Amino acid sequence: MKKDFTKLAQEIIKNVGGEENVISLTHCITRLRFRLRDEHQADSDAISELSGVIKVLKAGGQYQVVIGNDVSDVYQAVLENSKIKGLAGDGEDHTAESTEIAKGEALEKESLGSRIVDTISGIFMPFMGAFIGAGLLKGFLVLFTTVGWLSTKSTTYTILYAAGDGIFSFLPIFLAYCAGKKFHASPFLSMAIASAMVYPTITALFTSHATVTFFGIPVQLISYTSSVLPILVTCYVQGKFEQGLKKILPKIVSGLLIPVLDLVVILPLAFIVIGPITNIAANGVAAIIKDGLNIAPPIAGFAMAALWPVLIIFGLHWGIIPIALNNLSVLGYDYILPLTVGCNFGIAAACLAIFLKTRNNKVKEISGSAAVSALIGGVTEPGIYGVLLKYKRPMIIMCLVNGIGGAICAAFHVTRNVQMAVNLLTTPAIFAVYGPWGIVAILISFIGTFVGVWLFGYSDKMLTVQKPNKKHVQL
């Protein structure tokens, strides 16, 4: 029977200051992300103590309530028990009023970096399930063909490969819909523009190195299949373009003219200007990271893997993903995210060590579920927020041990040629894609973290804390 989250939703609504204090709400894999008119009205302590809530965070202009694996159900319960509107991009409509408030009041409070990270996560999150599933299928296909269970010449392989590779080949179309909604552009027109960018004839022109012009203007074509940055910037420009047209065109003709003008103005602009510029910028950033790995591979790899859980805390890891996907598109492989291949396992191991060592039932329940979430599902936020940050020392040990795995991956140039989930169930595919040193990094992260946390990272004595004006209390 499906769990009822009505009471939890009502308590969250009440303690964030009531629905009238909420500008908008969205969610990611583990967190409810509120934009509040006045954060001082929210009772963070009361929310943190609710059964079903792991932690409360304030970051990037957002009031974040970490729920864990049940976040989508709690999100729906909040919407059903209030007049709160979901933010565009998560499947819910935006009222005109909340849109203007979100653009005006809330976004003004954010730094540019926070807004960029929030935008990227909002674009990628809606189709992340399909993304992970397709990546996992591609990883297993590599494994099956490597061990000889499946022939690459069979039609079975062709069908399964299409199922796994389709979302990556036509990634700009998926991104276009989400980015169109995020940037207040017409999402289906964004998809039409993206479809033209990956149209077979255009792709053929690129592969044939043909000379391309548009009314005499030279066009430097790049490969748009599997690309990320070109369509994101194009949708942003499209949103601004449409908003400008709506101000000057009469409503009676805007519905007819805007779609046509999008296609005849924004699409050529994407081919002539946006595509080449974003390609240069993405390659430049990737080259800087690659140079760092070439100059001092172990140091760069250690830093990347050790800091990865810290990036997750602030949501900054979303800024790395477009660069990694661009590497897959342009180079055919990625060398950045493989450095973090052991991180999920290190987080799971730390939680597992605490689960086995503690005698406190509440800590055992939280750490056990967090270990399963990280190890089986690859979802690490419950472990980071609910367990490791709480006791600090396990977090430090886990980051340092993960860094060793990252250093090894960098030293032995571990790469991947597919986007895939990283968890216990995918380890056979990880071996096929990342190679043996990827598995070595995983073993180091898991075993090293488990031993370190068991011996030095946790004791039930940590459960006794000092609170102001109160005696020591046993949690």
Q: pLDDT-based confidence at 86, cuts 50/70/90?
A: low
Supply the mean pLDDT for the chain. Answer: 83
* Cβ 123 vs Cβ 178: under 8 Å: yes
Does 65 score more than 80 pLDDT?
yes
- Exposure string of 44-57, with b = 16+ CB inside 10 Å and e = fewer, is beebeebebbbbbb
Higher-pLDDT residue of 52 and 118 is 52
Higher-pLDDT residue of 379 and 212 is 212
pLDDT of residue 390: 80
Provide the residue count of the chain. Answer: 475
What are the tens digits of pLDDT across the range 227-280?
Answer: 778 899 999 999 999 999 988 988 888 888 999 999 999 999 999 999 899 888
For the residues 18-30, what does the mean pLDDT come to? 84
Which tokens hold the place of 470?
Answer: 């109160």
Most confident range (mean pLDDT) of 32-36, 175-179, 405-409 is: 405-409
* Cβ 280 vs Cβ 222: under 8 Å: no
Q: Which of 41-45, 84-88, 207-211, 339-343 has the lowest mean pLDDT?
A: 84-88
CA distance 328 to 214: 29
Return all residues near 19 (Cβ < 8 A) that are at least 6 apart.
Answer: 13, 82, 83, 84
Higher-pLDDT residue of 309 and 470 is 309
CA–CA–CA angle 155, 159, 163 (5° rounding):
165
For the residues 377-400, what does the mean pLDDT come to? 84
Q: Helices 171-182 and 155-169 meet at what angle, rounded to 10?
A: 30
For the residues 210-228, what does the mean pLDDT come to? 86
Q: Which of 10-14, 253-257, 440-444 has the lowest mean pLDDT?
A: 253-257
CA distance 235 to 187: 9
pLDDT of residue 445: 96
Which tokens hold the place of 20?
Answer: 């009238």
Higher-pLDDT residue of 133 and 267 is 267
Does 453 score more than 80 pLDDT?
yes
CA distance 159 to 17: 52
Nearest CA to 180 out of 195, 201, 168, 160 is that of 195
Does 282 score more than 90 pLDDT?
no
CA distance 325 to 11: 40
pTM of the model: 0.62
Does 168 score more than 90 pLDDT?
no
CA distance 444 to 404: 8
Task: Tell me the percentage of the chain whose pLDDT exceeds 90.
Answer: 34
Which residue pairs from 277-280 have beta carbons closer than 8 angstroms and sit at least 24 positions apart in sequence?
A: 278/229, 278/230, 278/233, 279/222, 279/229, 279/230, 279/330
pLDDT of residue 289: 74
Return all residues near 103 (Cβ < 8 A) that are at least 6 apart.
Answer: none
pLDDT of residue 154: 92
Does 92 score more than 50 pLDDT?
no
Q: Output phi, psi for 474, to 5 deg.
A: -90, 120
* Cβ 424 vs Cβ 441: under 8 Å: no
pLDDT of residue 132: 66
pLDDT of residue 438: 94
DSSP annotation string for 362-403: HHHHHHHHHHHIIIII---HHHIIIIIHHHSHHHHHHHHHHH
CA–CA–CA angle 154, 160, 162 (5° rounding):
105
- CATH 2.40.50.140 is held by the domain 6-110: no
What are the tens digits of pLDDT across the range 134-150?
Answer: 766 877 787 788 778 88
Q: pLDDT-based confidence at 33, cuts 50/70/90?
A: confident
* Cβ 149 vs Cβ 179: under 8 Å: no
Domain with CATH 3.30.1360.60 in the chain: 6-110
Q: pLDDT-based confidence at 89, cuts 50/70/90?
A: very low
Does 23 score more than 80 pLDDT?
yes
CA distance 259 to 457: 59
Neighbours of 291 (CB within 10 A): 10
Which residue's structure tokens are 């299928």? 137
Does 210 score more than 90 pLDDT?
no
Higher-pLDDT residue of 428 and 122 is 428
Q: Output phi, psi for 365, to 5 deg.
A: -65, -45
What 3-state DSSP class applies to 65? strand
Q: Burial, 290: exposed, middle or buried (Cβ in 10 Å; 0-12, 13-18, 19+)?
A: middle
DSSP label at residue 2: P
pLDDT of residue 302: 94
Which residue's structure tokens are 């039930």? 460
What are the tens digits of pLDDT across the range 98-117?
Answer: 444 444 444 444 555 556 66
Question: Torsion-angle region of residue 95: left (phi > 0), alpha (psi -120 to 50) or beta?
Answer: beta
CA–CA–CA angle 332, 277, 416 (5° rounding):
15
pLDDT of residue 463: 75
Q: CB-side exposure of 379: number of CA atoms within 13 Å?
A: 20
